[in-house]
Every structure is written in structure tokens, then in C-alpha cells.
Chains A and B, each alone.
Chain A
């Protein structure tokens, strides 16, 4: 049974006319579902166009250097239905899922409310969900007592295709939230009750003004010399008080005048150490605190805010387009920043000789592919990391919350950074130390596919003890990855290249793989770090050991 289909470029999001930097297959190649066919490069990232199906490439109509856009046909392939494979509906759905509009979270169109604009108690329900029913709530954005405006998100639902926000259909105060995270809902499920503010309320407002308008020129005496300066409400910014830990502030050992100074400067006295008798905070302490932050001698306290990046009105300099961050970016951004701020990062760079490894991998790749396994270099690197982590258990540890002890983990779950069109995710291969290189490679392929489709489950993203970020497929010679805290280290991998290596008597061409090992210097010292990368290099050179089956 065979069937020939067009190979179509999936949704490229905002990109159009994207350049093909590599063609990974040739006519006649057998490919598995999700195998990379061509590599595209935008100015932001490069990524592979995966095979929509398992089968054989019939023809390719593009070559390196061509540009393609969403929906372009780049060739044809014959789908092979092996044995009696069940035809999953997902197979048919897959391309459809890819041409969904970009952006991670769709906003559902609200169901029309029966009496739009009316006030009073109303129930907010789940609108039409398309084909979906029993969809899980992954986030609840409201609590009783909250004020919401029309279109404010109430909850986020996650189907296996996408996450979507359910918007409020009425403005007002939430009386009761009727659902929790984890609940499954369908069209019409009540989410919350709301004391809706009637839209008509707006119409009442002009009343005072019109009273004023009606007021005749009764004012016998003309207004005094200076007319009122504009009826000026101060800019809203003036309204926002600096966020101060009031409970702590009220206990700070400081006199009223010192407190006044602190208020003026927005200093949270909780963070100031007093230099006076009995640690009394004096004026100079407040000034010194501010000075230290301004001159960068002290980390600005999180509560008082980091020194901020200057705000620029970009529209002043040309046309702009504002796109919201994806949900994954919104989640990962603060976590990356937290790691960057909290961990003293050091990156150790090293080179590993993978000449033999790569040769063996090329030999084994074909047979592996026949078993449906893409035997990538990453699988070998992971395998090497497993033995390195066994040798250096500290790299597999975490600091306890109080920072007083190290938590050694007797398990070895390896995370790997996967770049998806919705942002960076880190799927986790569990118990990597109990898996051989084929098992790891197989799982890498599966998890990568799930990541691209946004179908990873929470448990597939949790529990990593060490993370690998491989940009080798794209390029680079070195970089400084950010540790995926509370892990204490991360291995960055750049593109391998042939280099002349002195073997004692002459230069020899060797395939060298650049390793960039970032670590938390509170836990790992420099000597340990370089021992780790050295060990890793040796492990990568010993391809037989890497290929050993797990007993």
C-alpha cells in the first residue's frame, strides 16, 4: 500500500521567503515521520522542516539557497504504511495543525451574551470550542473580588493542539470562580459568576458635565486674572507608589526623618543595614545604599527593581510592529533572568575529538534509521554526559533552598534545549543512565517531535538534573549557556569542525566538537569544571564504551 503526497512547507509564523540552508535528504531516501528534510534559516533561528509522514522521498524541487514560504510544495513523497499500522486521525490532522495561525494562545471568540451591556449577576461560560470537549484548564487568571474588563482572560485551556484563553464577556467584579486548574470543561461549562457593570453606566457620566454646561453665565464677576491652568490630572505614573514591603518597613530601625528620605528615594529600608548604634539606620546608610546601587557595587534589590533599560519610543525612528511574547517566552524569560541574576556563572570551553565517533555514527546511522531511530550526535553526547555525571556527581546536584547544603540526586534525567516556533522548551529524558544510545536517540526523536507540535506533557518537562543545549546543527564555535537552575550546570555544544591537531609529530585532521560548560560557581569550582569537560572529551573519544548496551 502506498500513496504519494506533496511535501508542503508548514506554517512559518511571521516569516516569508525563508532561505534553505541545507537539504538533508535526497530522492530515494527513506524517512521517518519528523525526520528533517530541509533546514531553513530565518534571521532568528534555523529549523528543520520535518517529514510529515514515514515514507520514501520521491522528488525534491528545491535546493540550498532557494527561498520558500508557508504552503510551498518542496517535493513529493510516497507514504508507506508498514504492516497494519493503525491510521491515527492525528496523521491526517498533523499538517492542519501546522497551518494554524501563529502565536501560542488563541483567543476564543466569546459567545454572544444574551443581553449585552446589562448589569447584574451573570455567569461566564466556556464558549464554542470547535471540535474539542473535555479540555483541561491549565491556568485560572481570576479570583473572586477581581475586577475584569470585557476580553480579559478568565482561564487558559489547553487542547492537544494549542492553548487558548477564554475571555470575559462582561465587565465587572468576579463573585465566585467555579473552576480550578486541572478541571476539564466543555462548551457551556460555567467558569465564574460576575457582578456585571452595566455598559449603560458610562452613559450616566456626562450628567455632571451637562449640569455644568447648563449653568448660565451667572458668574457676575469675571474670573480672577489667571484662568485656571488646565484641569490637570497628574500623569497616571505619578499615581503608582513605589512598591515597598510595608510590614518590614514599619519595623525598620529608623527615625521619622530617615524614613522620609527613604520614601523619597523609594528605598525599602528592610534592605538597608544600619550603621548606627544598635544597627540604627541613619541618613548616610540610605544614601550609601542608593549610591552602591547606582554605581553597581551592590545588586539592586529585586523589590526596588533592577536598574532599567532605557525606554525608547521605537516608532519615532520608523515603522514598527508589536507582537506579544509567546506563552513559553513569558514563562521562560523570568526563569532565565532569575538564573542569570542569582547564579554566579562561569563557562568552561573545551574541544572534544569526535573523529572516531562520527565515523562510527555514519556507519550505524543507516541501519538505525531502518529501525526508525535517528542516531544523532546529541544521543552520543548525552551518553557521554551520563558517564561524566556518574564520575562527577556534584554536577548532577542542586543547592538546597537555604543554600546550606547540596542535594545529590541518585537519578540522572537529562534535559535538552529544543527550539520550537513557540519558544525554548527543555524536554527531559528520564533515567538516561539506564538507557543505551539507541534508546536515548529514539527518545530524543520522539520528544523533539512532541516539542515541535507543542504536545509535551508537563511530566516530560520536569525533573532534569542536567541540561544540554546543542546548537551544533546550526553552527557556532562557542557560547555561554545559562544554567537551567536549580540545576548547577549546563553543557553547550557548538558545530564540530575539522581542525589540525598536533599528534606529537605532525598535524592531523581531526573532527573537533566545541563544548561550552556553564556552571554555578557556588557549587562547582574551576578545576572540577575542567576535569568534567576533559572527562567528557575522553568519553566522547571512546565510542565503543558509548555504544555498550546497558546491562
Chain B
């Protein structure tokens, strides 16, 4: 500790000396706060800091703001997932007497609509940056000293404080042939052309969401995952309803299977596998590699500012989002933890407020995770896997959607809502929802968790009928033994 600080102090003073003796090396730009990256974390931090009165420069390497989330992540994928949902639901209604005929898919038009959604949002960001007098610079920034950045166009930015929000990038498997038919998540969102046969390498959330889109668009989808389960780390019960559906829809789902090689051939990408239940070889006209994302912490010459970056590209921070260098903050994907936009925005506000002199802390008790697959899977707070691993005594209460009028009227009875309670205090420790709109429903459980609500706090709040949100209250009633919408043999006296 002492060593690092000494070095820090010494380097700073050299900088000061140079600044004093070389006035001609004045920077092109100067700011109280510079934010590197304009994804959900970066723009939130920049805007919040500007609202708190700081003079802010926001640096983005692409011509549009919004980062991965708006341009090549959350938003475009959700637009396409919406299309997928409409297609699937229309088809499903045929069984119940409403037939539309086979959908005609104009990929170009669909892509245009997706791009319009993006344009609307990113344009909105530009406007808001202007309104807040946040100066936006385009370029790739690297540190040259603890108080200066240089952009790839050689402009320099002298700053008092800095928030690093440079995000992450998809990991590509090594040794793949250079072929346009092998894509990452960004390429997969391009939809051009819609393939007949798609292999998704990596059964995580991103891969499975894209699998969902392409399956609805008529593609035969296969998924290959190295671990013994899809979405490793997710409670197995949450996966069951999802697997029941996708096993029927997808061509193959291979777990515990390794991709050993890929070869570009004229008919398609020839992929060889190694695994118990996997075919030895398959030919696909599109391969989506979604094996994870890597933090960009080590792409900024952060060491020149004295900022420590670990071997995974992650910059460690304290509860105020400060790095080891007190005037430099890191947020979002490169600051460790789940790589989620809503985590980044929350951290962004903490960092901006601390930079502006407020005593803010990242103090959330749960960060919701959502897979926007069909059905959606969402969870927040404690999971059963974590509880078992850490020996946390909990009680589970669950409400199956087969008993929900609304779920049945949506023709979607496969889902359920699950709550985990502290046995002693009866407070919510975590929860999960599987089924349509699970990502929206999880928010209530997140609020309950943050507020320290117990089972009766939830069940005594009147939930509108008939909605899927009722299932959260029903799960709490199941815990209390007061549930009437389902007969659960009494294990306890009602509380």
C-alpha cells in the first residue's frame, strides 16, 4: 500500500513539474470530469455529473452514443425478440382457432425498423448531451498520465477526475477461419441473410436470446455448450420450462460438448464436436460464437495513470467505484461483477455523485438478471445454488403459472414464480420468475428485497387481477399458508 502511494505521489509531482515547465504542452481539452465510453454506464455517469454541476467531457470511439447496449446489444436484440414473439404467438393461435397463414419475413424491413429504434434512442442521447452541455469527443482514448488522456486523433484531454466506462467485447474462439458466416453477437443482429441452419456456440444468455430470434424467423437452430447445462450458474429449476419448449423447437442442444474445429467450406461451416451425445460433425450456414465477453480494462494504458488492471481486463473498485487511484473511477462491465447495463447505470450514478463530492455508495442487495428468451427467465438476489453453496438456511415458496388465470389465457402455463425467504425473519432473500414478461415481473421482487419486505408485506399489497404479477403475491401466500388459489397440503399453521 505504502509503496503504491509513494509512487503515485511522485509521478504526480513529475507531471506537475512538466506542466509547469512546458506550458506549450497544454492539452487540447480540459475538463473537471472525463468519462470514457458512452454506453449505459458512461452516458449515465456523464449526464448525472453534469446535472451535479461538473464540467464533463464524454469520449466515445464510435460516431454514435449508446455503446453496446443501444447499438449492438440489449435494444436491437429486444426489437428482434419482439418480432420473434409476434411470429410465435400468431403461430400458436392456430391451434385455438385463429390462423394467419405463414408469415412473410422481409429481413431488410425488419432490420430497418430495428435500426430506427436504435437511431431514436442514440439521437435522444446526443440531444440530451447537448442540453446538459456535455462535450462529446469521438475517438479511442488512452491514458498518458494520471491526469491526461490522448485520443487516437492526437487530441489530448486534461482532467481532474475520470470515470472509465469502456465496457467489454465479445470473446472470439481462437483459431477460427476468417469467414463472414462466423459471427459474434453484433454480427448476429445484422440478420443478413437469415440462415437456414445456425449453430450457436455457447449456451449463455446472449446466445440463447439470438437462438430464440433466429428460431422464430425460421432458422434451424443448434446450441452447443461446454458445461453440463445451459446458462451455467442458473438454478436448474428455472431452466426446466425453457428446455421443455426449446428441445422441441431447436434442432439439437448439446451440453458437455466441445467444438474441436471449424472449417469454412462452400456449403457451409463444417464444425466438429467432442461430446457424449453430440454428432461428430455438422455443417451450418451460420455460426454464432457467444462464449462470453471480456472486459476492456486493459485497452486504455491504464497503468500510465497508475490504475491496476487484473489479468481478465477488470479494474477493481471500492464501494464508491474508486479504483486504486482515488480520482479515477471504473464502472460497468470492466469493473467486475455481472456484465449488465442496469448494473452499469447504477454504478454510474454512484461514481458521478462521488466525483461531485457526494457520499454515495453502491449498496444494492440484488442485481436482477434476465434472459429474454422464450420463455423469459429472471432472478434477483439469492439463488438456490448460492444458498446451498454458502449454507444459507432459506425456505422456498413457489406458485406455478398453471394455476394462474392470466397465464392460461395467454396459453403459457409452463412458467412459475419462486420466492426465497429467510426462515426466521420471513424477509425476502431472492426470487425468480420463468415465463412471458418475467423480466418485468422480477422488478417487484427486487423492490421487496431492497425494502426488506417480508412475505406478508407482499401478500398484503393488493395485486391487480388478472395479471401475471399476482403470481408474486401468490408465492408469498404459499409461504404464509394463506394461499387459496391452489391447494397446498398444509405443512404449517397459517401465520
Binding site for B on A (CB under 8 A): 147, 149, 171, 197, 201-202, 205-206, 208-209, 211-213, 215, 217-219, 221-224, 226-234, 236, 238-239, 241, 250, 253-256, 259-260, 263-264, 278, 280
Contacts and interface: CB of A to CB of B under 8 A. Distances in A.
A209 B7 contact: no
B451 A255 contact: yes
Contacts of B28: 219, 221, 223
B5 A231 contact: no
B318 interface: yes
A155 to B, nearest CB: 19
Contacts of B26: 217, 219, 222-223, 227
A205 B18 CA distance: 14
Contact of B359 (A171, A259, A263): A263
Given A218-B154, A222-B26, A241-B320, A197 B454 contact: no
A38 to B, nearest CB: 47
Contacts of A229: 32, 160
B271 to A, nearest CB: 45
B278 interface: no
A236 B27 contact: no
Contacts of A238: 326
Contacts of A253: 425, 427, 452
B451 A223 contact: no
B304 A223 contact: no
9 contacts: A206-B11, A208-B11, A208-B144, A209-B11, A213-B25, A227-B26, A229-B32, A231-B146, A260-B361
Interface in B307-348: 318-320, 322, 325-327
Contacts of A254: 452
B196 interface: no
Given A228-B160, A231-B15, A236-B326, A212 B144 contact: yes
Nearest to A197: B3
B25 A212 contact: yes
Contacts of B158: 223, 228, 231
B282 to A, nearest CB: 47
Nearest to B29: A224
B32 to A, nearest CB: 7
Nearest to B301: A208
Contacts of B5: 236
Contacts of B1: 147
A209 B326 contact: no
Interface of B: 1-3, 5, 7-8, 10-12, 14-16, 18-19, 22, 24-32, 55, 143-148, 154-156, 158-160, 304, 318-320, 322, 325-327, 358-361, 363-365, 425, 427, 450-452, 454
A503 to B, nearest CB: 70
B245 to A, nearest CB: 36
B160 A212 contact: no
Most buried by A among B3, B359, B452: B452
Given A205-B14, A255-B452, 15 more contacts: A149-B3, A197-B3, A205-B11, A206-B11, A208-B144, A209-B145, A223-B29, A224-B29, A224-B30, A228-B31, A231-B160, A233-B325, A233-B327, A238-B326, A253-B425
Nearest to B427: A253
A171 B2 CA distance: 10
B427 to A, nearest CB: 7
Contacts of A228: 27, 30-31, 147, 158-160
Given A228-B30, A231-B147, A149 B14 contact: no
Given A149-B3, A228-B158, A232-B160, A219 B359 contact: no
B144 A211 contact: yes
B133 to A, nearest CB: 12
A149 B29 CA distance: 39
A231 B12 contact: yes
Contacts of B7: 201-202, 205
Across the A-B interface, the 4 shortest Cβ-Cβ residue pairs: A231-B147, A228-B30, A228-B158, A217-B24
Contacts of B10: 202, 205
A415 B19 CA distance: 65
A209 B143 CA distance: 11
Contacts of A233: 8, 12, 146, 325-327
Nearest to A255: B451
Given A147-B1, A205-B11, A233-B12, A280 B452 contact: yes
Nearest to B363: A259
A202 B26 CA distance: 26
B141 to A, nearest CB: 15
B326 A239 contact: yes
Contacts of B24: 217
B322 A239 contact: yes
A213 B2 CA distance: 27
A213 B304 CA distance: 14
A532 B391 CA distance: 54
Nearest to A205: B11
Given A224-B30, A232-B160, A233-B146, A256 B363 contact: yes
Nearest to A227: B30
A250 B450 CA distance: 10
Contacts of B15: 209, 212, 231
Contacts of A260: 360-361, 363
Contacts of B363: 256, 259-260, 263
Contacts of A256: 363-364, 450-451
A259 B363 CA distance: 8
Contacts of A201: 7
Contacts of B325: 233
A145 to B, nearest CB: 12
B375 to A, nearest CB: 30
Contacts of A217: 24-26
